[in-house]
Amino acid sequence: MSEIVLETRGITRDYHVGGGLFSKQKTIHALKGIDLKLEKGKTLAIVGESGCGKSTLARIITMIDAPTSGELLIDGQPVDITKAGLTSEMRRKVQIVFQNPYGSLNPRQKIGDVLMEPLIINDNVPAAERRERAMQMLLKVGLQPEHFNRYPHMFSGGQRQRIAIARALMLNPRLLVLDEPVSALDLSVQAQVLNLLADLQDEFGLTFVFISHDLSVVKYIADEVMVMYFGEAVEYGTREAVFSNPQHDYTKTLFAATPRADVESIRKRIAAKAA
């Protein structure tokens, strides 16, 4: 039987902006009812242009932010993100890796300490074992034992992303949310990091939500694809189905890699239809 690691049911997220002395309050519907189900060991890619709601959805899945309505289930269990409702066991099941790991690495913290920190905060692991587990993880992501005592600025962009991935895996999560994890890297380094992610997914039976605007990366890594457009999932299915038979006008334009002007015009047509 399939194991569903991640499920969302009708997730919405509204933001209220303005409402000051000189402007009327406006509501932005960043997510408009997102339904998805993701099996263990699979990768769901979420694509769409800037502002379509990808990061908002990532924050809700990682329990950083609460939905306005709808339900998030991890391993079939409903998540209550209020302080009283969220257990540390639930929180550690989902970890996130961001586009720019440098921003989230403390420049004065050695890499070994970066990796051991989650074990200190969340687990009662003895010091010697913490060190051993951090060292093992360092090797698993293709770094060297001597990197343990080095600082973030001593690493390349690709190596830093390996460190971020290692840190995210220290608590044995079930689900990894990867928010544009290779977008800032050179092409050859991108390929290395994507291969590493694929290996780690196999080894640990990980489930991935992979956020990207790069369709060639999505084609390579995804089992399933969701295309988002103004807060809605306008396309959702297997990679083969979505790439070979896109249904929505926006997706067709996106995949045809037509010039930007065409994307703009199609957007206007869709908006006109909806009005």
Ligand X SMILES: Nc1ncnc2c1ncn2[C@@H]1O[C@H](COP(=O)(O)OP(=O)(O)OP(=O)(O)O)[C@@H](O)[C@H]1O
Q: Which residues bind ligand X (CB under 6 A)?
A: 15, 17, 28, 30, 48, 50-56
Nearer Cβ to ligand X (110/213): 213
Q: Which is nearer to ligand X, 17 or 256 (CB)?
A: 17
Q: How far apart are CA 208 and CA 224, in angstroms?
A: 10
Min separation Cβ 123 and ligand X, Å: 32
CB atoms within 10 A of CB 39: 14
Alpha helices in the chain (DSSP H): 54-61, 88-91, 101-104, 111-122, 127-140, 157-169, 187-204, 215-221, 239-244, 249-255, 260-274
Least CB distance to ligand X at residue 99 (A): 9
Cβ 153 to ligand X, closest distance in Å? 26
Nearer to ligand X, 50 or 244 (CB): 50
- Report which residue's Cβ sits closest to ligand X: 55
Closest CB to ligand X among 54 and 239? 54
**Tokens (6 digits) for 82:** 């209020």
Distance CA 52, CA 48 (A): 6
User: Least distance (Å) from ligand X to the CB of residue 271?
Assistant: 14
Q: 3-class DSSP state for residue 199?
A: helix
